[in-house]
Structure 1
Amino acid sequence: MLTLKTVAKLGLVAAIASTLMTGVARADAMSAKPGGAANLVLLPKFLGILPFDQANRGAEEAHKELGNTGTLQYIGPTPENSVAGQIEMLTTATTQKQNVVMLSNNAGDQISAAAEAAQAAGTKVVTWDSPIPSGKGESVFVAQVDFGSIGVVMADMVHSLTGGAGEFAVLSATPDAANQNAWIEAMKKTIAADAKYKDLKLVDVVYGDDQSEKSYNAALALVDKYPGMKVIMAPTTVGIAAAAKAMQDEKLCEKVKVSGLGLPAEMVSYTMNGCAPEFALWSFVDLGYLTYQTAYALATGAIKG
């Protein structure tokens, strides 16, 4: 089971436990017959960051466990070429007649035409982490947790770190990231709907394109633009680490706290020094494992999608 955890002072507190699979039941995916032959491609938003490497580790574990005699490829674009690169790689996988592409979508609906072409040619598309917003060309979406619940967790962390009142900003990845857009909207709805959050003020949403340097600079720009800001909420592992480092380097951690979605291994020093007292995340290893199980079940006919 994938669990969203809130990390505070290095103690793990289970906040939410929920896994969603649109169109299929998780039990059906797990009952696929081992020893089949399916050629599968794991296509993250881009290569070079730990969460996607962890997802690949989970996929490799499932690949070995199922005794799949087909192939598992782990490929992805660079952060700078993520949108065009994902579309090109999905198109290439379709031409190669891969059975399933497991896609963490960073291209919004720009990739839907390539996904629909893949489906028409017999290559299934299983999205994970971040779906195709319109759902076009997508057989199954494997969600790490309920998106609405992430919004509540984000709102609660802001509330906790501001003392219930004050300005905060969001540092996200890209404007096309469907998962982060959904989490931010869920957070906004949570704040608007509950009087508990009435004294919180979201002053801006900015983007660091999941690049460390750009996210670092964006965090500092927020501090300059909003001198009264108390929290930077970053629902991206790259963004939260970059923002925390920026606050640490500029000795701003007493003034501006950083929170969001981060990896404990990358955030431990910022948690200990008070720059990022609390944050949350789920297991990307488990997410990669479940996504592979789903893709294999789809490829071998154990489930339909």
Structure 2
Amino acid sequence: MTAMATTKTKLARVFIDGEAGTTGLEIRERLAGVAQIEVKSIDPAKRKDRAARAEMLSNVDLVVLCLPDDAARETVALADELGPNAPKIVDASTAHRIADGWVYGFAEMTPGQAGAIRTAARVANPGCYPTGGIALIRPLVEAGIVEPDYPITVNAVSGYSGGGRSMIEAYEAGTAPAFELYGLGLEHKHVPELQKYSGLTRRPIFVPSVGNFRQGMLVSVPLHLDALSGRPSLADIEAVFGDYYKSADFVSVVTGPAAKAGRLEAEALNGTDRLEIFVFGKPELNQAVLVARLDNLGKGAAGAAVQNIKLMLGLN
């Protein structure tokens, strides 16, 4: 009897640099269910040891950076020194989102974006707020309904998990307010990517806020329809979205009664990697409010990162 030879499938090796943070933990949890990926970890005692970090980077296929911006730049510089032994990189910080040589990791942003991510060596994972804003604005700019220099306002509310350790601790200790606006200096770090990838030439006004719930997000854009090119109807805008996202895996346009209810809660997509788009308004008023709903830890962070990881490793 002849023994059958078996071939063991080689696993893709992924290192999450900053795996103990909120986004890092979420990514690790999602990757645990991906059979083709092996997650590697560095000895905690050596996580700041330059030689140990260089060795880890040279022995994995891809690294995910869940780090503060300066630390992310340091890791990229270290990877640069490895030359052909450098891994592919997904950067979840804001350090490289509008940098030359980096592909923006919102796979549904344009018809060719997933393909660009698939062949990229370096991908900047989008911010949670810009993901919603770009999803709402880019299709209308592409369709010529919103002019690039149109004065856009983006309002948003997020669960407190997107605010970093100090905000999370304050809310969980009960010392934070139930709701607050922030970024009122109009220089939020997400504005540059929001403007660039929405296709806008005029800087948008962005007003973020945080509520006393852990995760979930609503991003809204109000529009005066009679001030737009061609004076589009609500149905016209809905049709543009429907066509733009007709083949999207994780972005969908909600129509019918759900889009006419006049109320929307932020937590409905928690635990998923989906994004939903709604068009609210009243034809007689020539006004509309466009809303994107997502989990700020899902499609707004870890879910997008895993989507990009799979694309870059040829797993989807």
TM-score for both structures, normalised by structure 2:
0.38
Structure number with the bigger relative contact order (C-alpha 8 A, sep ≥ 6) is 1
**Greater helix content:** 1
